[in-house]
Chain A
Amino acid sequence: MSLWVDKYRPRTLDDLHYHHDLTARLKSLAASGDFPHMLFYGPSGAGKKTRITCTLRQLFGAGVEKLRIDQRVFMTPSRRKLDLNVVQSNFHIEITPSEVGMYDRVVIQEILKEIAQTQQVDLNAKQRFKVVIINDADTLSRDAQAALRRTMEKYMNNMRIILCANSTSKLIAPIKSRCLLVRVAAPSSEEMQHALEYVAKREKFTLPPEASQQIIEDSNGNLRKAMLVLEALKMQSPDMSGPLSIAKPDWETYCHKVADMIIQEQTPQRVMDVRAKFYELLSHCIPPTVILKTVAERVVDKVDESIKADVMHWAAFYEVRMRVGNKKIFHLEAWVVKVMSLYKHSFYGIELDDFED
């Protein structure tokens, strides 16, 4: 029994619940035969990937749903071995180059070259080109983006690229200008409500409006998260009545508690305590950028107006260092110490009366 998110994921463009004008546009694009490179962008859980798969289906028919997952091995110039999971059908291939970190350029080059050099041999195929889907395009390194840029022009004959990204700000301009940009916005509350009710109907239970309202508020425009929460809730209390408590993921509450620790006390000893917590978070595979962001947002909520800007400034500053450096914990901690010292100074600089907890 698969998760509801997977089970009730729309398969065709007609099934999609919202953004109907976008759907119409995608449909006419797929029909026109002149399909461009595309860049889907929008917040997490808005339905980018779902729209991509639906478009593919529109392009190629049901054959595109016959997927196989391969593990491919790539070799870097320094003879290091990289494993990458590749999802592909006869008509498309889907890769997530960010899984191999800074060696993404190698993967991009190898895969694109391979696809570009093979012609579509299936005579029944609706289109003459294959599609390469690149997930997490905004985390591609500069090198990889540069490699992409050239190939996009060169192999236009038998390949189209669909990029999927959260924001376009980290993509270089030449790539953006070569793609048709498609923004997939987060669904509105009504649209989410509609989708949740659809699932409830298919699962044959009634979803009380209060419950769905609570889920929607909690999920913050992320439909995937909303579906997951719905499923978890249904499993916990099958009748979905009474006061519902939406369980936040453990890591989120944990991050909030870490932020509280930072505000409670500012001493070198506390730095050690916070570090232990960070280590714990990191060892649970929570991405360091997410940790920094979550903790920083919580800290900003709690501190005085005057240092809010500084807290965020340093968060951004150390996030950049974190991307460049190897030992994430150093940068997380450096930020914490910075914030502690900022907070302490503002605390003692101004009189105490503003800071009753």
Chain B
Amino acid sequence: MSRKSTTTRKRPANVLSQSARKLLEDDEPMPPPAKKFKPLSSALNMFNIDSPKSTQTATQRKGKGKEKAATPALPPTFSGSQTPGDESLWLDMYGPMDETDLAVHKRKVEDVRHWLSEASDGGSSGKLRKYRRLLVLSGPAGSAKTATIRVLSKELDFEILEWQNAVSEGLPSDEDSDGYANFEGAMDKFQAFAARAASCRTVFSSETSSSQTSQANGSQASSCKRRAQLILLEDLPNLNHGKTQERFHSILEGLVHSPASIPVVIVVSDAGIRGATGDDVALASGPSRKEAIGVRSVVPPDLWRSPYVTEIKFNPVSATLMKKALHSLVAKHSRTSSHPQPSKELVELVVDSANGDIRSAIMALQFACVRTEGKPKKKGRQHASQPLIAMVSRREQSLAMFHLLGKVLYNKRKGDAPAPSASAKDIQRDKELDATLKNPPRLPTHLEEHERKASRVDVEVLYADSPIDASLLSLYVHQNYTQFCNDLNQAEGVSDWLSWVDSNGGDQWYQTNPNSFHLITLGTLHSLPSPVPRRSQQMYKPEFFENLKMCRESEDAVEDVVQWLSGIAQTDQSGAGSTRWKKSEVVMELGPVLRARSDLHASGSCLPPPSSHRLFSNLTFSRGQGSKAQLAEEEVPPESSIMLDGDDSWDRRHSASSETRGGGWLEEDDIED
């Protein structure tokens, strides 16, 4: 078994190295798409491994290194290793001071403010305070979650007690002599922090904040007035570890139910769903899915269902808001420093390439300015530096997803007629390319149906440049191939290849087929018609992930129903011996009964099933097409943007269910008080 897998692994390496050698020997077999920017070749070289080093690249290296060093250690702790001539990160220098600076939609800010004020004074009825115990802010990275909470807590005069995982574990720290002398596990520290934060409210408020919490605002420690506090958890312990997670959950529950009633705010950045092969397995195989840190793994499930938890979801920062924020930042910057202001175009470029992540946008902007500051004489060549900036600031993988798919799906072959929109230069280039392509040998008559002209697509180059892995590529191809097929035979070819590649190889990393990228590409190219007729096809993002998300929700609903079933069986005196329902039985057989029960409950007789059962039991057949998210030309293979424009029907259903849930416990609230 193991021997087999090693041999299969060896082969592609040879193939690759051979082809790489061929690439080196052949004189420019195919110009990479980026060759368009001639003056930028040096900048391009920066991304390649070995390249002639010009003075320009040297300065860029420095800049890039700095960015890299700075990124992981983001806000307050970061102090060292800065390039001379620049004091600190713009992120720290020009962080939002008040609400107007925040690049967040007003309503979101209002939601958070509402929650915070209710947490401190109990809202209009004064009763809500009890339920405003845990706020979860979720959203993609760089959507200003933490900034919002900081700004608002300042405005509403909250003192933030923040937990940070200690880095120097087990070593005596020079500042604190008491806590670190004996070794204390990270979770012990966290527990102690939670206990202290929850109990030492009135007396030691300033001391707590100085020992384990950050918020080094001088005025706060000195003010002896009693201030409202909130606990901010952002730097979460390692929740992938089972025991740690359990402890974390129990601590969290303790905090929520503690009498001191300090509101807790948890900031969770979506890890995003990736299409990597390993993850797929985790995604596809039911319950073993708690790999990525999601809201549900942070908050214990019972708490999640309780009324004490509120979740506010942040969206990626919209382009207009980000532009506004960046402009005001630039204005601030030019007031304090003598450096030239970055141009408007540059700001726009940065906004475009940031993909809703304001943190990376500011980083990119600062970096871009550092570069232009260093070379004032280049001022006249502003135009030339634009694509460069775009290249530098964009994430590495953004290497035109759109073009990759286009290459695969348009299936251009030697001698194809140029597209009507092609320029003379393009035609010329195609001709040159065709001249280098050798005609494949003729096939014997019984294989004639497989005869194709030589392809203009070089799979090896594609593989090297591809921003995504084979698994994600297969999803994209699957989403889009039908538009490129003329008849069913071609579709049959593509779908069969996709199916074959997906079922090939095993679940472990060493069992995966290393050639799957090539197989998908070549299989698709072979099956598609040649030439592909232009019908103004549009590329869409795979619906797969949204579907998976909905599937998860329904699974949770099934679980709810299973629990409901055993619940009602136990209340019944005769139901003592009943067994647990199987999930598949619930899904496939229980639908009509659940619906009948829900209807019956409307007239008020028995304990209703959880309303979420509609997620799996209610399926209406409609002719309409599901809304699909189109792939934009500049699209970055999305980590999180998959969820940007979600399926309408899903949103509708989800909001409906959350409304009913909200309604449910508000009634309870009135009864209890």
Contact = CB atoms under 8 A, between A and B. Distances in A.
Contacts of A273: 625
Contacts of A268: 482-483, 485-488, 490-491
Contacts of A57: 577
A250 B578 contact: no
Nearest to B497: A334
Interface stretch (B9-17, B66-74, B549-557): B549-557
Given A250-B618, A269-B482, A341 B625 contact: no
A267 B488 contact: yes
A18 interface: no
Interface string B483-520: 10111111110011011101110010000000000000
Contacts, number: 242
B40 interface: no
Contact of A100 (B288, B584, B592): B288
B4 interface: no
A250 B617 contact: yes
A94 B502 contact: no
Interface stretch (A27-35, A148-156, A204-212, A227-235): A227-235
Q: Most B CB atoms within 10 A — which of A7, A81, A96, A324?
A: A81
B566 interface: yes
Nearest to A267: B488
Main secondary structure of the interface of B (DSSP, over half): helix
Interface in A58-76: 64-67, 69, 73, 75-76
Nearest to B509: A78
Interface residues of B, number: 85
A279 B596 CA distance: 26
A228 B593 contact: yes
Given A283-B554, A325-B503, A135 B578 contact: no
B503 A321 contact: yes
Given A81-B242, A249-B588, 4 more contacts: A254-B619, A276-B626, A330-B478, A337-B491
A35 B547 CA distance: 47
B558 A285 contact: yes
30 contacts: A3-B569, A3-B593, A7-B574, A9-B577, A57-B577, A65-B577, A67-B579, A69-B566, A94-B579, A96-B582, A232-B592, A247-B592, A249-B591, A268-B485, A271-B488, A271-B495, A283-B554, A285-B551, A285-B554, A287-B587, A325-B502, A326-B471, A327-B474, A327-B478, A327-B544, A328-B284, A330-B474, A331-B502, A331-B503, A333-B495
Interface of B: 240, 242, 277, 280-288, 290-291, 471, 474-475, 478, 482-483, 485-492, 495-496, 498-500, 502-504, 507, 543-544, 547, 550-551, 554-555, 558, 565-566, 568-569, 571-572, 574-580, 582-585, 587-593, 595-597, 599-600, 606-607, 615-621, 625-626
A321 B558 CA distance: 27
A334 B619 contact: no
A329 B618 contact: no
A183 interface: no
A122 interface: no
Contacts of A22: none
Contacts of A250: 591, 617-620
A103 B283 CA distance: 14
B582 A101 contact: no
Main secondary structure of the interface of A (DSSP, over half): helix
A224 B588 CA distance: 12
A254 B591 CA distance: 13
Given A135-B582, A321-B502, A327 B482 contact: no
A87 B580 CA distance: 7
Given A7-B574, A53-B577, A251-B588, A329 B593 contact: no
A224 B280 contact: no
Given A2-B572, A9-B578, A236-B596, A100 B544 contact: no
Nearest to A219: B589
B503 A322 contact: yes
A2 B569 CA distance: 5
Nearest to B489: A341
Closest 8 CB pairs of A and B: A101-B285, A325-B503, A283-B550, A334-B499, A321-B503, A65-B577, A250-B619, A325-B502
Contact of B606 (A1, A225, A249, A251): A1
Contact of B543 (A69, A103, A253, A279): A279
A346 B474 CA distance: 31
A75 B621 CA distance: 41
A232 B568 CA distance: 17
Contact of A281 (B290, B571, B615, B619): B619
A248 B592 CA distance: 7
Nearest to A322: B503
A344 interface: yes
A9 B581 CA distance: 13
The size class of the interface chain A forms with chain B is 35 or more
Interface in A285-342: 285-287, 290, 318, 320-322, 324-331, 333-334, 337-338, 340-341
Nearest to A323: B503
A239 interface: no
A284 B619 contact: yes
A280 interface: yes
A334 B588 contact: no
B544 A1 contact: no
A176 interface: no
Nearest to A54: B577
Nearest to B650: A283
A232 B281 CA distance: 38
A49 interface: yes
B502 A326 contact: yes
A102 B620 contact: no
B579 A272 contact: no
A180 interface: no
Given A254-B619, A321-B499, A284 B554 contact: yes
Contact of A82 (B287, B566, B619): B287
Contacts of A3: 565, 568-569, 593
A167 interface: no
A265 B228 CA distance: 66
Interface in A195-253: 222, 224-225, 228-229, 231-232, 235-236, 247-251, 253
Q: Most B CB atoms within 10 A — which of A2, A67, A225, A251?
A: A2
A266 B488 contact: yes
Given A101-B285, A285-B554, A334-B498, A87 B575 contact: no
A100 B286 contact: yes
A83 interface: yes
B583 A271 contact: no
